[in-house]
A and B are shown apart, each in its own frame.
Chain A
Amino acid sequence: MAPDFFEDPRRRDIGQAAEEQTFGGSEALAETVVAGRGRTLRTDAWRRLRKNRLALAGLVWICFMIILAASADLWVPHFFGAPTAIDTSKVAQQSLLSPSADHPFGTDKLGRDILSRTIYGARVSLIVGVVAVAIMVVIGLILGAVAAYYGGWWDSIVMRTADVFFAFPYILFSIVLIALLGFGLQTVFIAIGVIGWPSIARVFRSSILSVKNNEYVDAARAMGASTPRILFRHIMPNAVAPIIVYGTMSIGGAILTEAALSFLGVGVQPPAPTWGNMLSEARSSLFTAPWLMLYPGLAILTTVLAFVLLGDGLRDALDVKLKE
């Protein structure tokens, strides 16, 4: 269940409920979006975000993980060994060592350093999170814009396709896509990204619909602004806030999905270290070497938590409705 939450059918219906309320012309989301646009949004939001200590902690942790992952090549192999390095002549002596000064997190069955693997695992998780969400956002924005702006048949086609995607059990759909495309990092991006777009499309579509008939858009149109110009200058800024919030949380979701797919054996393949396949390997040593299970699990938890807290913080910061 974990990994599918952020993109699963439930999300649709929360989105849909909000959307329908908005559509009815009565509810808060429309106001939120309209009132929260422009330059003040950014400064205000940053000010509010800084006050939210949990969100700030999330941001700091994410930056820390990014620095760790990005700089790994410079120092990790030197201190702890490369994440995939095996010395077959000494593998028996180095297998399943408990944490020590040489190996602060211990070693796995093939004598590879867990700390090193955990740090390199962060690379995969962060890259998957960011790229998959980027794919999701790009597809979602394009289709959402098409649906909302052109309406009619376009709207029906996009939204019914979204329904088809939603109707599929999420994780099963990603396994089928992976079976289709073959294993690999790119496949995981695509599987998570391609399946996740409908949520973004819905959020974006409803944002557009809520401002489409506002006076200033009408005014812009009357002044002869082109469609793309209207979209980018007048509508996009209003839709940015929910997309940022949703995107941030989706990164956490994508990391969880990658871990689950790797745990099931269909994600990023060994020997490349990922948190998911490290946990899958750890399952066989649950009693003899519990540290194998501990660190990758904690890494997933803290990183996803950081994105969730940051997303919460951003939502509160950007959400005018909750402004005191």
Chain B
Amino acid sequence: MKLRKHAWIGLVLGIILVGALVALAGCGGGTATTTSSSTPAGEQPVKGGTLNVYINEPVSIDPVDLEESEGTQVGQALFDSLTTFDYLTMKVGPAAAASWDVNADASVFTFHLVPGAKFHDGTPVTAGDFVYAWNRLCDPANKSNVSYHLAPVKGFDEVQAGTVKELSGVKAIDDNTLEVTLSYSFADFIYVVAHPTLAPVPKAAVEKDPAAFSAAPVGNGPFMMDGTWQHDQSIQLKAFADYYGKKPNIDGIAFKIFKDPETAFLEFKAGNLDWTMIPTGQIKATQDQYGTSDDGYTGNPGKQVQLGSELSIYYLVVNTKDDIFKNPDLRQAVSLAINRQAIADTVYEGTRAPATSIIPPGIVGYEDGAFPYSKYDVEAAKAALTKAGYPNGQGLPELTLSCNSGGGHEDVMALVQADLKAIGINVKTDFTEWAAYLKKLDDGTFQFGRLGWVADYPIIDNFVYPLFKSGSADNKSKYENPAVDSALEAARKTLDESERIKAYQAIVKTVGQDTPVIPIVAYKHHHVTSARVFNLILSPNYLLDFQDCWIKG
């Protein structure tokens, strides 16, 4: 880890990367070592074939609004952003930008684009296309859910307010050079620009017919649209012949749209899908039938079930302004009473891991056990409950555990309820639909409830800043700690990589003591590839690597 971090510091501080085209571009695929270790001996890539992939109906496949996992999955095949993060090596690599420079205080980034790269309609990819795409993302008229990715860029607030149309911080120096000025130092910005929603778009194609572009985007990635998006049915992609990077083995991808994983899984069993999600309840049987991937990410015949970690956490949010839960001892007692292993094993069949921190494994700077009360210890829980003033739960009114219905959380809530009953805390559950639930969280009219958080980038900041900064809209615990607030601001300005990570780790520990949230489980993949697909990698951030897989038979 240490060595890797030092290498990373050097990278951020301005070492120009070379050999861009050799490295894997686009979707952050496996390295040579991973590939050779998990691919059956003697198998060589073969060309051809169409990969059938399960997705839910995406909200958007246009970079202007790539928010949820499904649209992003399609978008990353159609588009390349400036950089790409390789989750297997934990390193940022080049994509549409062959290299980049960073100024001394990490507030100005200069990207040198791959020369000669083309969009799917044959027009060249220029720095101006990035400027256009980023302005388009921030323009309120385009109603993007994800313009916040560019919040660090100078001029963002003005564009969002509608007073100006263009980000003052983004400039095309020439066709191949893009200069980005931030409004504050933010060395982690290199991670941000790996997101597919920050990919370039060709202005002419967009403005000719914006609706048509959203239904069949013209990108710069390894695959191009084959026809338009058939809503609720399918999205067909074919390989782009003029792609600047490594060409994929497969001829195309058919994203087949299903409403729920149960139906998709039936289709998989019928042989009509090459990759799908396994509905919980069928994971063990699927492992027995199809074999489990060695590294959890790479699917190969006979080793098809992917169970690697994801960058998401499932947690209970506690209302720190609630009359009863404002007592941190009680929050700690609740946290200690929950048998996370039982939840992971029974409800998720071992496909989720007990969480010991609000930060999931896979984030740069992750520490096991950073939340000290995130363990199952009935005696300690009882002691904490006594300390809170409720020995064996005496004097404690019935608590209400809120949850949104229909998301498959019922079993988890039932287990939490049973765990708390075991130490004398009576809990009733309150299921409402998402709209009503969200309102309760926003209004603070709840005691404790459940939420999930998915990382956009593999950095600690991506969890702690939105979730624990005072007044942040995502801070549903209404947690307020001036020490944490100032430490967060300081960490963002810290240029030295290891210093910064240490600062963030200290913040995580402080928050862990206060227990405004109770981590439950960290997500793992539960997906399966078909027996005809080789080397199909699903990265921790839920992106499939379409460039390195192949189909045989």
Contact = CB atoms under 8 A, between A and B. Distances in A.
User: Touching in the complex, A and B, CB below 8 A?
Assistant: yes
Interface of A: 84, 86-89, 91-92, 95, 109-111, 179, 182-183, 264-266, 269-271, 277, 281, 283-289
B432 interface: yes
Contacts of B408: 284
A289 B414 contact: no
B262 A283 contact: yes
Given A110-B415, A182-B436, A265 B406 contact: yes
Contacts of B166: none
A84 B408 CA distance: 17
B262 A286 contact: yes
Interface in B391-449: 405-406, 408, 410-411, 413-415, 417-419, 422, 429, 431-433, 435-436
B433 A91 contact: no
A92 B282 CA distance: 15
A88 B339 contact: yes
A89 B339 CA distance: 8
B280 A284 contact: yes
B431 A88 contact: no
A270 B414 CA distance: 8
Given A89-B342, A92-B342, 19 more contacts: A84-B414, A86-B415, A86-B418, A88-B342, A92-B345, A109-B281, A110-B411, A111-B346, A179-B435, A179-B436, A183-B433, A269-B429, A270-B410, A270-B413, A270-B429, A277-B410, A283-B262, A283-B279, A284-B408
Contacts of A91: 342, 346, 415
B405 A288 contact: no
Contacts of A269: 405, 410, 429, 431
Contact of A271 (B285, B406, B414): B414
Contacts of B432: 182-183
Contact of A110 (B279, B339, B346, B436): B346
Nearest to A90: B342
Contact of A287 (B282, B414, B415): B282
B551 to A, nearest CB: 26
21 contacts: A84-B414, A86-B417, A87-B418, A92-B346, A109-B281, A110-B415, A183-B405, A183-B433, A264-B406, A266-B406, A269-B429, A270-B413, A270-B429, A271-B414, A277-B410, A284-B262, A284-B281, A286-B262, A286-B281, A287-B282, A288-B281
A69 to B, nearest CB: 22
A84 B282 CA distance: 23
Pick the most buried of B281, B339, B342, B429: most chain A CB atoms within 10 A of its CB.
B281
Contacts of A95: 346
A260 B410 CA distance: 18
B436 A88 contact: no
B509 interface: no
B112 to A, nearest CB: 50
Given A89-B339, A91-B346, A109-B346, A288 B414 contact: no
A86 B405 CA distance: 20
B429 A271 contact: yes
B431 A183 contact: yes
A321 to B, nearest CB: 47
B289 to A, nearest CB: 10
A92 B411 CA distance: 13
Given A109-B411, A271-B410, A271-B417, A88 B422 contact: yes
A228 B435 CA distance: 46
